[in-house]
Structure 1
Amino acid sequence: MLLSSPALAPRLTLVRASPLADLDDAGLARAAAEGQPGAAGAVWDRYGALVHGLLRRVLGPGGDVEDHAQETFLQFFREVKNLRDPAALRPFLLGIAVRVARSALRRRRFRRWLSLTDSGVLPDEPAAGVDVGAREAVARLYAMLDTLDDRARLLFVLRHIEGLELAETAQASGMSLATAKRHLAKVTARVHAMAERDPLLAAYVAPAEEASDG
């Protein structure tokens, strides 16, 4: 017997991605500025991992990355209406992430002056499968970065750890290209000089001339 009742017919559920996901950055920025439904999720899907990675590398171990990532996106959605060039969505968002990271670094320094927490030291027990030597190198690197001022630290991390292009590093840091290049050359030379004096870190860093931007 053939049952043709609509109630008994198999149901097909079509899952369609948000059309905003197909927009370029300019279109997505406009959608976010207009408060279109789905815009927040589309921006998060496109750039959430990038923002998380940047904050994690700038702040180092124990940096409360999730909280700072949420703060970055909250600020972005408050400020996106002020974005003059919608195509500059990515550097605009990275600039906000840099400001959030810089503020977090200042608060961390203040807590240390008051002898509170935020030492930045990694846990004593390494996770299973983690290269203990590499883990110790990371701890020493961030201890070294803690000796830098916030601007120098951000420049070094954005360029040499996060791997941003020089122009994007300058834009995210709110500097001209020439200024960023000048300060970056100084901090790169300083970090390499410190690393070369550490037998463990020396094995992980490239020669200073290879790290410079020419």
Structure 2
Amino acid sequence: MADLDDAGLARAAAEGQPGAAGAVWDRYGAQVHGLLRRVLGPGGDVEDHVQETFLHFFREVKKLRDPAALRPFLLGIAVRVARSALRRRRFRRWFSITDSGVLPDGPAEGVDEGAREAVARLYALLDTLDDRARLLFVLRHVEGLELAETAQASGMSLATAKRHLAKVTARVRAMAERDPLLAAYIAPAEERGDGAEERGDGVEERSDG
């Protein structure tokens, strides 16, 4: 199973072949866990949400029209699970910021006090976004999904995802650049290869405070 490409693995999972479930877990379990942890914050319920994601996946994989799209299909289910969890509780995000502007897993060992303060300020900044914008930001800029994968995982058309991503990226960047501490840790979009292909509008602001 480990030698199968995503299309072959998706077909094997849909057919219930022995070993397919374990192979999907081995290939994407860590990414699903990381996505949910970064969006929801650390805690015992993250493991529950990971299990919920995979349970839904194995129930729904027969509906997958393009077997090669296994990853965005699975991450799309994780997004649905995360949205459901976000409706039930407010949460803290755990990012650590590197000097390249990447937002990886965190908080990392050895992060200096300036970075920790920048993280706290970034939490406050991201709290101004609605759930959809926050999830898009995590999928694109934390998980590093391609635009097409981000759109599919979010259940949006590519054009809609581009518009929403453009607005949330510009908003986060503009607010960060007005804060000297954040600006020192978040690299300009040009250095990260973002922005030009994502220009547009349409992300809504959070209305629940």
TM tier relative to shorter chain: 0.7 to 0.9
Task: Answer whether contact 2:97 2:119 (CA < 8 A) is retained.
Answer: no
Task: Answer whether contact 1:56 1:63 (CA < 8 A) is retained.
Answer: no
User: By how many angstroms is 1:136 displaced?
Assistant: 3.1
Give the aligned CA root-mean-square deviation in angstroms.
Answer: 7.1
Cα 1:26–1:111 shift into 2, 3 Å? closer
Identity of aligned residues (%): 93
Q: Which runs of 5+ in 2 are unaligned?
A: 192-206
TM norm structure 1: 0.74
Range with greater deviation from structure 2 (76-85 or 57-66): 57-66
Task: Answer whether contact 2:94 2:107 (CA < 8 A) is retained.
Answer: no
The structure, 1 or 2, with the larger RCO (C-alpha pairs under 8 Å, 6+ apart) is: 2
User: By how many angstroms is 1:192 displaced?
Assistant: 1.3
User: By how many angstroms is 1:70 displaced?
Assistant: 1.3
Number of residue pairs the alignment of both structures matches = 194
Q: Which runs of 5+ in 1 are unaligned?
A: 1-19
Q: Which has the larger radius of gyration?
A: 1
TM norm structure 2: 0.76
User: By how many angstroms is 1:90 displaced?
Assistant: 0.9
SS in 2 for 1:120: coil
Cα 1:200–1:50 shift into 2, 3 Å? same
User: By how many angstroms is 1:22 displaced?
Assistant: 1.2
Aligned counterpart, 2:10: 29
Task: Answer whether contact 1:51 1:69 (CA < 8 A) is retained.
Answer: yes
User: By how many angstroms is 1:126 displaced?
Assistant: 8.6
Q: Deviations over 1:37-79 (max 9, x none)?
A: 2111110000011111222222235583222111111110111
Task: Answer whether contact 2:101 2:186 (CA < 8 A) is retained.
Answer: no
User: By how many angstroms is 1:173 displaced?
Assistant: 0.8
Q: C-alpha distance in 1, partners of 2:165/2:98?
A: 30
Cα 1:68–1:125 shift into 2, 3 Å? closer
Aligned counterpart, 2:53: 72
User: By how many angstroms is 1:141 displaced?
Assistant: 1.8
User: By how many angstroms is 1:199 displaced?
Assistant: 2.8
Task: Answer whether contact 1:63 1:120 (CA < 8 A) is retained.
Answer: no
Q: C-alpha distance in 1, partners of 2:155/2:105?
A: 37
